[in-house]
Structure 1
Amino acid sequence: MAIGLVLGVIGSLGLWVELWWGFRLTRQSGNLLVRRGLLTRRSLTLEERRLRGIEVVEPLGARLADGARLDAVASGFTVSIDEQRNDPRTLLPVVPKELAHRVAAEILREPMTPTEAAILTPHPPAARRRRLVWAVGAAVGVALVLAVLGLLLVEALLHLAWISAVVLIPAAVWMGLDAYRALGHGIAGEYLVARQGSVRRSTVALRRDGVIGWVVTSSPMQRRAGLVTLTATTAANHGGYKIPDAGEAQALTLADRAVPDLISPFLDVKQGVGAAPRQAARQPTP
């Protein structure tokens, strides 16, 4: 097992070196240029006029070391399954988070990156409860499956069941609380900012004029808790960015503040917040 772990670490390090050797990020004639790669040289040219924002991504391992990477939010990007490990949207590999924010500000030509400047509004306590239920439920489910298999097959699995419960349930509680603490949304200047995630924490700053529509969805469990998922649709990347488990009033107020001329005609002014349609859209920004 130890040998396998060492080989895995060496392999991961070798792959990282191959992907990011000789990395350069430059700006030239209105384009962002990325060059990298050891054996296979890769180059990306991104027109700045297609840039709709930036995403600061903090995988759990990198976050524990106070690191983050930068992904571009830009129109014209489509990522296949084969490219997910080598995402062409990545403008900066994992670096110290302070450096990532500084580079993001340079890319957006802002004195401070919106992902740092925004004051994020936390989500209702019901969102915390949902995350705890899902996380703890998954941990308990694993322990129950092992316990049933232990009763039916091998007694040793019963011991593995209680050991997994002791280990996984506290970890699940921590992850649920951590995921809730990550939830937040706000507006910083011309940008809509949203954050979510624990294993993969993502903070996206999306240009408000790049939002071409809003989608408001709620499952039966969300409706009981008074929560909705607000999706800002855009022509960039995968077509939309979700703000999950926000309060209904929070979500509609945010949408109205971010792009007032898009959703306000659908709000019931008499009730202050009112009801929004499931989708409102406008023509994409060229």
Structure 2
Amino acid sequence: MVIAGLSWSTLSRVGFGWFVAMVIVIALGATVLSVVSWYNTGYQVVGRELRIHEGLLWRRTRAIPLERLQAVEVVRPLLAQLTGLAELRLEVVGGGKTEAPLAFLGVAEASALRRRLLSLAGPRTVSAPGPQLAAAPAAEPPVPPGRPLHAVDNRDLLISQLLTPQAFLLPFGVVFVAGQFLSEGSWSFVAVASTLTAMAGILLQPVRRVLDDWRFQLARDEDRLRIRNGLLETRVQTVPLHRVQTVGVTWPLLWRVKGWLRLRLEVAGYAAGEADQRNRPDRLLPVGDLATGEAIVAEVLPGVALSSLPLSPPPLRARWVNPLSREVLGAGLAEEVFVVRSGLLTRQLTIVPYARLQSVRVVQGPVQRLLGLATVHADTAGGAGAAAVDRDLAEAWALAAELSHRGHTARRTP
């Protein structure tokens, strides 16, 4: 509704004066609602439980057991940075979306509450019921605490986003649109504005990635990863390593010229249903070379080396199902992890620790049954897991049995 109210067509119909008035009314209404919501929201830490109180006419109290806590993130949008505030976001097991966002707290209070919640969420932490945590004046740390692992060069980040299909093909689109305007002689304000809006939409994803991953820093503090990133909206994320379900490695087509890759985490409880993917704080390395990727993966999954993972392709008859990507597909069992490779243009590698396996499935489609093939799915808690596509049927059953055995053994091993 808001987007429709602020569209170019509305501007052309109502005129500039009424358009500005609509923008002011919408902005004031949003501000008033935000202030009322903020005044009627509070929290309390009781034992190993976080309680959120909110609502003006209909009061609601949510109780979140901290043993379900997966990750805690401190987010500071641009206006929050100017006013010294921060938003605390929690990711819990089985959450359909980000749980209990506390917006807004003081920076010091948000950082202290994050540390308190992570401490109480630890498996060996015992705490008596206590009152609401009080804020203490302190400055926001300039970098994440702990042992620094890597800081992304902003120049590499910019170049990596220029090597995306959206940015790479945009000049050709500009030339085509300009040719259309010149040939038809149509230069109306609405036509030009609509074209510029469409081009801005094409560039939105790479621009967002640059803004989100600006000054990306990764550090390790004992058994936790600490990630800080963002330009207009800064984020400080804390992820316990024992919550990591999978590690994904991606080699985009245009990045292979420079030997770059991207790393992402999958953590149980991340809001897979979020409409805005930026609310899924799963970045591990926005851009980097193979040596950097190997070093970071070794920190998250000790003993795993990207360049020496055992991978075998599907049988030759799988080319009838995947004629172009059969040579790219691969799967293998390493000492500590299950590995799957896929993707023709954008190469992807998924690494699943055996201890994180929740279930193993063998699936056959009608074409696969004719060819004696099957796909083995290794499922993790609340995530996509990994799938070994188009394996020989006998191999698929043997692989599934071995995965079940290794998963059971790994979960029993302290």
Fold conserved between structures, TM > 0.5: yes
Structure 1 residue 208 corresponds to structure 2 residue 279: no
Which deviates the most, 224-233 or 11-20?
11-20
Tell me whether 1:93 sits opposite 2:103 in the alignment.
yes
Match of 2:218 in 1: 185
Question: What residue number does 1:279 align with?
Answer: 350
Cα distance in 1 for residues equivalent to 2:256 and 2:145:
32
**Structure 2 CA distance, aligned partners of 1:27 and 1:142?**
54
Match of 2:300 among 241, 258, 272: 258
| Whole-Å separation in 2 of the counterparts to 1:47 and 1:107 | 10
Deviations 1:160-184 (A, max 9, x none): 68xx7xxx9xxx9998875553323
Provide structure 2 residue ranges, at least 5 long, that are not aligned to the other structure: 1-18, 121-137, 273-279, 310-337, 340-348, 357-380, 382-410
Task: Report 1 or 2 for greater relative contact order, CA contacts < 8 Å, sequence distance ≥ 6.
Answer: 1
- Name structure 1 gaps, 5 residues minimum: 80-86, 270-275
Distance in 2 (CA, whole Å) between partners of 1:214 and 1:268 is: 16
Q: Secondary structure at the match of 1:44?
A: strand
- Match for 1:41: what amino acid? R
CA distance in 2, matches of 1:144, 1:67: 44
Q: Is the 8 A contact 2:49 2:66 kept in 1?
A: yes
- Residue aligning to 2:187: 155
* Change in 2 beyond 3 A, CA 1:251/1:193: farther
Larger Rg: 2
1:93: Cα distance to partner? 0.3
User: How far 1:216 sits from its partner (Å)?
Assistant: 1.2
Alignment correspondent of 1:242: 283
- Give the 3-state SS of the residue equivalent to 1:15 in structure 2: helix
Indicate the structure with greater helix content: 1
**How much does 1:75 deviate?**
1.2
Q: Which residue of 2 aligns with 1:273?
A: none
Query: Does the residue aligned with 2:70 lie in a helix, a strand or coil?
Result: strand
Distance of aligned partners of 1:145 and 1:180 in 2 relative to their CA distance in 1, 3 Å threshold: farther
Equivalences, count: 263
Give the stretch that moved more between structures: 44-53 or 96-105: 96-105
Aligned to 2:113: 103
- Provide, for residues 230-271 of structure 1, a one-character-per-residue CA deviation record: whole Å limited to 9, x for no partner: 12222122367133223222122112113315x35x6639xx
Q: 1:97 to 1:136 in 2, by over 3 A?
A: farther
Deviation sequence 1:75-108 (CA, Å, 0-9, x none): 12112xxxxxxx5341x20344343223222322
CA distance 1:182–1:120, change in 2 (3 Å):
farther
CA distance in 2, matches of 1:180, 1:48: 29
Aligned residue in 2 for 1:129: 159
1:23 aligned onto 2:56? no
**Separation in structure 2 between the aligned mates of residue 232 and residue 66 of structure 1, nearest angstrom:** 30
Matching residue's letter, 2:246: G
Among 241, 245, 268, the alignment partner of 2:308 is: 268
Give the TM-score of the pair, scaled to structure 2: 0.52
Q: CA deviation at 1:68?
A: 2.5
Matches of 1:77 and 1:157, distance apart in 2? 46
Give the RMSD, CA atoms, in angstroms: 4.1
Q: 1:43 to 1:246 in 2, by over 3 A?
A: farther
Q: Report how far residue 132 of structure 1 moved.
A: 5.1
Are the aligned partners of 1:57 and 1:202 in contact in 2 as well (CA < 8 Å)? Answer: yes
Identify if the C-alpha distance between structure 1 residues 19 and 248 changes in structure 2 by more than 3 Å, giving closer, same or farther: farther
Q: Does 1:5 align with 2:23?
A: yes
**CA drift at 1:17:** 3.6
Identity %: 17
> In structure 2, how many angstroms separate the alpha carbons of the residues matched to 1:223 and 1:144?
27
